[in-house]
Amino acid sequence: MREFTMKSRLRLTLAQIEITPWIEKNLEKILQCIERAQGKVILFPELALTGYQAFTPSINSQIIMALKEIQKKAGDKLILLGAPRIQGKNLYNAYYTITSEGYQIFAEKEILFPGLDDLSGFSKGGRRRLLFLDHSKWGIVICFELRSPEAIRSWLREGIDGLMVPAQWPESRIEHFKTLLQARAIESQIFVIGINGVGKIGDKRLGGCSSVIDPFGSEVLSLKDEEALGEINLDLNYPSLPYPLRTPLFKTPKLRSIDELLEIAEKRRKKGQIMVFTNGCFDLLHAGHVDYLQKARKLGDFLIVGLNSDLSVSKLKGIYRPINPQELRIEVLSALECVDYIILFDEETPENLIKALKPDILVKGADWKEEEIVGASLVKSYGGKVVRIEFSYDISTSKIIEKIRKI
């Protein structure tokens, strides 16, 4: 394992600014902040360049010109700033790193805030990377993503030292922002930097209260609810905590009955969560299966896999199938993080399961025409979606069996 020595201090400036829908006004303020900032790293809020607004394609050239203006002003500083990214017909809520040498994407917001990001035309982002600052590693979540512990845990696997949270968090829920910043620092034993805006989104006031939290959960820098530059020489060499950070693996049963799933689904849907359903035999689990199931899970908040029982598989594929009995297929599927629940069915199709569960999103492979997908018309009748997923691998259980036979 590679060891490195951290520099003792990281000079940061938190630029808590009022964000407006006018690029020219925001850009002027951003350039002023860069001029005044003492830090070598300057953090601005989410969408600091544009704010939330009704974006049009013509804004793309304005954004690019503004990013180049910031680049010219950067000098020896690193600027971190939120601005939209437009690619083709898609719009992404992005966060950039900008130096005198250029600018690039640090992250795109993946967990969109309903009623704001979607209404502004943003699509789910998929890009994010580590940021290395003086031998320390930093991850990022953008605003609403702070509410997802899973988003932070994914960064912990990278061995991050800190987390950056650019936001436009409303005043009405500012205590949530402050509490979550502290909680993420304590539970992960990392530094957390929250950089919020002030001003308004429509008629909603932003709450400010940007801060830096150390791994003990203490505020080492805090701002109020007005425009301000927060300056800090962040000491990265904090003393060891008196307790270890444990990341245990809990094995939970994923095979459920229909009654259990109906109860679970009801409670999860009350929290606004989206159910995804797919089905299959998953006899000899391979890379194509895993890729398919991961893509299905990313469409919502929990994935239910309808698994053909041994009886069902034999009806469909003959008496010599499945190769692996249902108990073993359940065990292997249960080991996949992307699979939340499994339910067996004896029929040749999962039609009865789909009728009972009423998934929000029904998923099948792109080799199926929509009119051939069992349950498709039902799901669409109540406003659900049918998604056909393209395969990334030219592989199947039948091909594996045929290859083995040739040995």
Are 293 and 352 contained in the same domain? yes
Sign of CA pseudo-dihedral 319, 324, 325, 329: negative
Are 83 and 132 contained in the same domain? yes
Tens of pLDDT along 203-241? 999 999 999 999 999 999 999 999 999 999 999 888 778
Residue 38 in domain: yes
Give a three-class secondary structure readout of 83-144: EEEEECCEEEEEEEEEECCEEEEEEECCCCCCCCCCCCCECCCCCECCEEECCEEEEECCHH
Are 59 and 191 contained in the same domain? yes
| CATH assignment at residue 294 | 3.40.50.620
Q: How many domains does the chain contain in total?
A: 2
pLDDT confidence of residue 239: 79
Are 263 and 229 contained in the same domain? no
Look at residues 203, 220, 235 and tell me which one is the last residue of a structural domain. Answer: 235
Measured between alpha carbons, how far apart are the two ends of the chain, in Å? 41
Tell me what the pLDDT averaged over the chain comes to: 94
Contacts of 20 (CB under 8 A, 6+ apart): 26, 51, 199
Residue 244 in domain: no
Are 209 and 300 contained in the same domain? no
Q: In the chain, pLDDT over 90 holds for what percent of residues?
A: 83
pLDDT confidence of residue 406: 87
What whole-number distance in Å separates Cα of residue 234 and Cα of residue 230?
12
> What is the enclosing helix (H) or strand (E) of 45?
none
On whether the CB atoms of residues 314 and 304 are closer than 8 A, the answer is: no
On whether the CB atoms of residues 155 and 110 are closer than 8 A, the answer is: no
Look at residues 235, 270, 305 and tell me which one is the last residue of a structural domain. Answer: 235
Are 218 and 127 contained in the same domain? yes
Confidence of residue 123 (pLDDT cuts 50, 70, 90): very high
Are 345 and 272 contained in the same domain? yes
The string of DSSP codes covering 191-253 is: EEEEE--EEEETTEEB----EEE-TTS-EEEE--SS-EEEEEEEE--PPPPSS----------
Residue 297 in domain: yes
Asked if pLDDT for residue 1 goes beyond 50, the answer is: no
| CATH assignment at residue 91 | 3.60.110.10
**Poorest-confidence range of 50-64, 73-87, 285-299?**
50-64
Are 178 and 60 contained in the same domain? yes
What whole-number distance in Å separates Cα of residue 341 and Cα of residue 346?
17
Mean pLDDT of 272-297: 96
Are 284 and 385 contained in the same domain? yes
Helix/strand/coil for 368: coil
pLDDT confidence of residue 58: 81
Are 152 and 23 contained in the same domain? yes
The structure's pTM equals 0.90
What whole-number distance in Å separates Cα of residue 310 and Cα of residue 217?
52
Residue 3 in domain: no
**Exposed (0-12), middle (13-18) or buried (19+): which is 314, by Cβ within 10 Å?**
middle
Residue 251 in domain: no
On whether the CB atoms of residues 313 and 350 are closer than 8 A, the answer is: no
Asked if pLDDT for residue 3 goes beyond 80, the answer is: no
What whole-number distance in Å separates Cα of residue 379 and Cα of residue 43?
45
Are 206 and 321 contained in the same domain? no
Residue 327 in domain: yes
Angle (CA) 110-379-265 rounded to 5° is: 65
Tens of pLDDT along 307-338? 999 999 999 999 989 999 999 999 999 999 99
For 208, the domain range is 9-235
pLDDT confidence of residue 250: 87
Residue 334 in domain: yes
Residue 242 in domain: no
pLDDT confidence of residue 363: 98
Are 153 and 278 contained in the same domain? no
Confidence of residue 8 (pLDDT cuts 50, 70, 90): low
